[in-house]
């Protein structure tokens, strides 16, 4: 019997990546990570000379510049399996610093639709990160990048900014009232589906990651709209939050780069 295939042959550095289709030189060191490919186009408007460099499955990537800094944006798709793939392949392609720009459902009172949340950690209610670290290993963002993201958000945001520990879940419809009540009792503040995968893979690859989310709902106070952000859905507040988090994350990259010299 032959040996199992060693995937380093297809996921190594300096080669065209298998699933994101990113080629060497396609991305900068700084990468924004929305879930939705459409949010890549929304982000590209803020980049000078943005070019679509790859587009395969749920992974759409633009690269351009922000205040002279080369910045890319790649969509992760929904859930940790594809978020982990995007993060891994971006690291292989030369990315070093990530900010997830997501949407999220708040689960504590006092957080409104359209508010922003900066992650200080994520419960790993998903099955992907255990391929990389034991269950007891925490999924946490980079401390310096997170501190800068939070202070930049507080300075620039037109809506309230919150921070705390969220839950990264594998099942959108498995977030039952009983499940949510348990998380509320732990002091968990929001639900989404990719952060712990991004934090874990970035950590294993020696890269930095942070996350900021716009609130699409509050499942504790039953503030719930359709999360597509169309005017018909009545959720202009979410669209405004996406626009804000993009600008805050780009400014954080710029300041982070300046600080590092
Ligand atoms: O807005 P994005 O970043 O796609 O993320 C959120 O939207 C999806 C559905 O709720 C999930 O993937 C969740 O994490
Ligand atoms: O995981 C998530 C993300 C957004 N909204 C939800 O209800 N759940």
The interface predicted TM-score of the complex, written ipTM, equals 0.97
**b/e sequence 218-250, b meaning 16+ C-beta within 10 Å:** bbbeebebebebeeeeebebbbebbbbbbbbbb
The pLDDT score that the predictor gives to residue 226 is 64
Query: Please, which residues bridge with residue 65 across strands?
Result: 48, 70
The pLDDT score that the predictor gives to residue 227 is 64
Q: Which tens digit of pLDDT belongs to each residue from 140-163? A: 999 999 999 999 999 999 999 999
The fraction of the chain above a pLDDT of 90, given in percent, is 86
Q: What are phi and psi of 151, to 5 degrees?
A: -70, -35
Q: What is the pTM of this model?
A: 0.96
The enclosing H or E element of 39 equals helix 37-44
Q: Which of 191, 219, 226 to mutate to test the pocket of ligand 2 (most atoms within 8 A of CB)?
A: 191
The enclosing H or E element of 70 equals strand 69-74
Distance 188 CA to ligand 1 centre (A): 17
14-260: CATH architecture: 3-Layer(aba) Sandwich (3.40)
The pLDDT score that the predictor gives to residue 229 is 64
Tell me which residues of the chain have a pLDDT lower than 50: none
Q: Where are the domains of the chain?
A: 14-260
Q: Which of 34, 108, 172, 235 to mutate to test the pocket of ligand 2 (most atoms within 8 A of CB)?
A: 172
Residue nearest to atom 5 of ligand 2 (CA): 105
Indicate if ligand 2 lies below 6 Å from the C-beta of 175. yes
**Angle of CA points 9, 12, 13, to nearest 5°:** 150
Nearest to 52 by CA among 98, 99, 95, 20: 20
The pLDDT score that the predictor gives to residue 98 is 99
């Amino acid at each position: 019997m032959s040996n199992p295939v060693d995937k380093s042959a297809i996921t190594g550095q300096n080669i065209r990546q298998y699933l994101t289709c990113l080629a060497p030189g396609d991305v900068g060191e700084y990468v924004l990570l929305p879930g939705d490919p459409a949010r890549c186009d929304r982000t590209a408007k803020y980049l000078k000379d943005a070019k679509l460099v790859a587009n395969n499955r749920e992974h759409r990537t633009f690269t351009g510049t922000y205040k002279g800094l080369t910045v890319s944006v790649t969509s992760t798709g929904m859930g940790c399996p594809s978020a982990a793939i995007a993060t891994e392949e971006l690291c292989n392609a030369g990315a070093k610093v990530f900010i997830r720009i997501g949407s999220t459902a708040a689960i504590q009172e006092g957080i409104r639709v359209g508010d922003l949340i900066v992650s200080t950690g994520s419960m790993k209610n998903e099955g992907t990160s255990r391929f990389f670290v034991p269950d007891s290993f925490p999924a946490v963002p980079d401390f310096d990048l997170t501190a800068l993201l939070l202070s930049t958000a507080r300075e620039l945001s037109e809506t309230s900014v919150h921070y705390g520990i969220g839950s990264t879940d594998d099942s959108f419809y498995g977030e039952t009232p009983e499940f949510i009540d348990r998380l509320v009792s732990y002091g968990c503040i929001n639900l989404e589906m990719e952060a712990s995968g991004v934090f874990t893979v970035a950590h294993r690859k020696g890269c930095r990651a942070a996350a900021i989310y716009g609130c699409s709902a509050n499942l504790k106070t039953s503030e719930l709209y359709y999360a597509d952000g169309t005017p018909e859905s009545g959720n202009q507040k979410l669209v405004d939050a996406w626009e804000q988090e993009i600008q805050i994350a780009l400014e954080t990259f710029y300041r982070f780069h300046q600080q590092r010299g």
